[in-house]
Amino acid sequence: MPTHLNRALENGPSGEKGSPTALPPFRVADSVPTGERLLPMVRRPVAATANAGYPQQLLGIGVPTSKTARSTSTRKKDKAVKTKTKGQKLSVYDSWLETLVPVASILWALVLWGYSIATINPLQMTDLGLVSVLPNTAYLAIVLLTFSFTWTLHQGRAPTWLLWLHVASFVFMIHGAPALVYDTLRYSWAWKHLGIIDYIQRHGFVDPNASSLMIYHNWPGFFSFFAYLFDVAGIKDGVALASWAPVFFNLIEIGALALIFRASTNDRRLVWQGIWFYFLTNWVGQEYFSPQALNYFLHLVIIGICLAWFRTPMGGEPERLHHKLVQPFYDALHHLRQRAASTDSQALNAPAVQRSGLLVMMIVLFVVIATSHQLTPIVTVLAIAALVFFRRCSASSLPMLMAVMMVTWIIYGASFFVRDELFVLFKSFGTITSNIGNNLLDLSNVTLGQKIVAYAGRSLTMAVMLLALAGCLVRIRRGKWDLSLMLLAFAPFLLLLGNGYGGEVVFRVYLFALPFLAFFMAALLYPTIERGNSAWTVVSNMVLSLLLFAGFNLAYYGKDQMYFFTSQEVEASQFLYEHAPANSLLIEGSRNYPSQFRNYENFTYVPLSREKPENQANWLEDPVSVFTRWMRNTEYNAAFLVLTRSQRAEVDARLTTLPEGALNKIEAALRASPQFSVVYSNQDAVIFTLTERLDSVKALQTAAMAKGG
């Protein structure tokens, strides 16, 4: 190796140590208006580039300056961009005015937002959720931020950190608002997740055969991680940290999305517009303190690595299969692959050691996914398999390896859950209509507010699908096939063949397809690097962003009357879970309250909202005698019935099978009956027990306290 080259390499990938002149001549992504490198690559000298003929300038990595190594079309693009940016020196990019104005806009938007949410009283929410109490200044903040983002992006000169700051501010405003407004953790499932963490902290292991929340014990990665982290960091109460989880997960997702998009286009406007649209349309709310949020991020990183470092170059002739029936299909497939691949991003020449390291990293990430979540590994395998099948990923054995790891975990690690659920899994396999239908709310019963919220979510989803389809067609028309992204957008839909996933599969399909749909939506505004330069793009972007936000605002915040819990509800739950003896029966109005976050295994749960409708009539007619009979059961050491504000909100919005006002009726009947005593009560929650068991409950509590103390 030449001496100057060796010296340059010793100075590290960026050549920080030595003089730039020590490096061989590089030319970095001329076709990018900002001159920014788009892909995370080792800067490689000409001599070390294996396939110098590849159009790597599209990828933003160091390429030879030799004209012979560049295609004619690329030279034309370079010329166009140079003409466009003629007269604009690099110093203009960094001028304080171009930076200061967007930064000031962001700060002003944050101040406006902060002022707005400080005035919100969440108790005044209607069945439209947080939207019903958001003041106008909050919308003004969103408009200001959106305008700043669209204008800054349109200029095409903003540094990456400034674009990141816009998106991060949006994430902070939207996902940080509940943490600031509500004081307590939003969404009842987040509380249940804290309960599993509490279990691990107390026992030091999981119970795969647990009677309640068994699924989490069979895929415990997320819970063991946070139990470990809370213990090491000395965090006694994880509620505050869990409240900010949506902000954290969304912020780290920005990096993963940028990795995916930057591997797919050299137009940074398209990259950041795609990221912006992703956060404007991600209304399904899976970024809360949950295994899904963590594993989704890891899934995106794996996809990003595959797209950035493991792309396959165009293949040669199709293989001859010597089978009359199969060969025509195979030839057609090959033709499609070649046609798409000719316009898709091309293979990289990353050093073998880097690719090996990244391959190991993907396997490590997948080990975590396979042991932490049920659905994500399936999507990851489907996505990578689709890329490999269409020859868009060179790690051809990766899907098989991942599938083996996933199945191994299901058979050995999650055997208890699979044994119990196998029949249900097989029964629902292939029943697409039922899998979709079970996920959608029956709107004939719900309140008007909830109807609007449901329609907002559905309309937003349909709009995203249609806009993405239009964007995809526009890209194809312009000669950009983006086959990899099309495959990744389509792969999650195969989940619909599986099962309903507890009534959520449609939302998860949307979530997993969304990054790629958002990219295609952005392609409507910036289809190619030469287009999207007019002022109309800014106007269209503003209008589209605000329309999408209108739908997102309703769909995302629309159920917050139920998802929000008051501190009184939390106090009541804390009292119950900390003082109730082990092996207690707990009758709940519904599952929607801060539940199961402490000593959760001490209870057998009976949520009234999940009782069969035909049984509901019995205990609604005469709750005192029916609940007395249930709670007298001596199999349990104690029995409690808990009713809270958030349970009532869910039932009264007619989101359960219980009739409106059912819980109020039950509470009134029990309060009036001498057979029931109130063991705890505040303005938002009440806990009953049988009067005849009151003494035994007290005795058990005293014994438990004596034992503990």
Partner 1 sequence: MNRSRWVPSLIILIGIVVAVASQADLPMRAPLVLLYSLVAPGLVFVRFLQIQDRFVELTLAVALSIALNVIVSEFMIFTRAWSPTTGFFVLVYLCMAAALYDLISGSRWAVRSYE
The site for partner 1 (CB under 8 A) is made up of 1, 6, 9-14, 16-17, 37, 39-43, 48, 160, 164, 200, 203-206, 220-222, 224-225, 227-229, 231-235, 252, 255-256, 258-259, 262, 294, 297-298, 301, 304-305, 308, 351-354, 357-358, 361, 364-365, 367-368, 371-372
Place of tokens 């106008």: 136
Place of tokens 């279990």: 199
- Sequence letter at residue 259: L
Least gap, CB of 252 to partner 1 (angstroms): 5
Closer residue to partner 1 in complex, CB, 12/53: 12
Least gap, CB of 169 to partner 1 (angstroms): 17
Closer residue to partner 1 in complex, CB, 341/369: 369
Least gap, CB of 396 to partner 1 (angstroms): 21
Closer residue to partner 1 in complex, CB, 225/575: 225
Dihedral of the alpha carbons of 568, 573, 574, 576, in degrees to the nearest 10? 130
Closer residue to partner 1 in complex, CB, 512/688: 512
What DSSP string describes 647-660?
HHHHHHTT-SSSPT
Least gap, CB of 367 to partner 1 (angstroms): 7
Closer residue to partner 1 in complex, CB, 204/674: 204
Helix (H), strand (E) at residue 28:
strand 27-28
Tokens encoding 634: 């001596």
Tokens encoding 271: 């990259």
Neighbours of 12 (CB within 10 A): 12
Tokens encoding 268: 């940074």
Closer residue to partner 1 in complex, CB, 354/675: 354
Q: Residues 6 or more apart from 581 whose CB is under 8 A from it?
A: 602, 637, 638, 697, 700, 701, 704
Q: What are phi and psi of 646, to 5 degrees?
A: -70, -30
What residues pair up with 129 in beta bridges, in sequence order? Answer: 126
Least gap, CB of 75 to partner 1 (angstroms): 25
Q: Residues 6 or more apart from 250 whose CB is under 8 A from it?
A: 171, 175, 279, 287
Least gap, CB of 510 to partner 1 (angstroms): 23
Dist CA 367 CA 360 (whole Å): 11
Least gap, CB of 223 to partner 1 (angstroms): 9
Closer residue to partner 1 in complex, CB, 174/257: 257
Least gap, CB of 162 to partner 1 (angstroms): 13
What DSSP string describes 613-626?
HHHHHHHHH-HHHH
433: left (phi over 0), alpha (psi -120 to 50) or beta: alpha
Closer residue to partner 1 in complex, CB, 115/228: 228
Closer residue to partner 1 in complex, CB, 303/340: 303
Closest CA to 281 of 537, 510, 523: 510
Least gap, CB of 145 to partner 1 (angstroms): 21
Dist CA 497 CA 506 (whole Å): 11
Cα 406 from chain centre: 21
Least gap, CB of 571 to partner 1 (angstroms): 24
Tokens encoding 630: 């249930």
CA angle (49 as vertex; 8, 355 as ends), nearest 5: 95
Least gap, CB of 457 to partner 1 (angstroms): 29
Closest CA to 128 of 553, 476, 674, 639: 553
CB 675 within 8 A of CB 625: no
Least gap, CB of 612 to partner 1 (angstroms): 37
Least gap, CB of 182 to partner 1 (angstroms): 21
Closer residue to partner 1 in complex, CB, 272/593: 272
Closer residue to partner 1 in complex, CB, 352/706: 352
Helix (H), strand (E) at residue 670:
helix 662-672
What is the radius of gyration, based on Cα positions, of the chain? 29
Closer residue to partner 1 in complex, CB, 129/221: 221
CB 587 within 8 A of CB 610: no
Closer residue to partner 1 in complex, CB, 133/308: 308
Burial grade of 544 (CB within 10 A; 0-12, 13-18, 19 or more): buried
Least gap, CB of 152 to partner 1 (angstroms): 17
Dist CA 667 CA 361 (whole Å): 55
Closer residue to partner 1 in complex, CB, 202/629: 202
CB 676 within 8 A of CB 687: no
Closer residue to partner 1 in complex, CB, 41/513: 41
Least gap, CB of 507 to partner 1 (angstroms): 23
Tokens encoding 92: 């203009």
- Sequence letter at residue 264: S
Least gap, CB of 204 to partner 1 (angstroms): 3
CB 608 within 8 A of CB 658: yes
Closer residue to partner 1 in complex, CB, 9/491: 9
Dist CA 589 CA 607 (whole Å): 6
Q: How far apart are the first and last CA of the chain?
A: 73
Dist CA 613 CA 535 (whole Å): 58
Hey, CA dihedral for 651, 656, 659, 662, is it positive or negative? Answer: negative
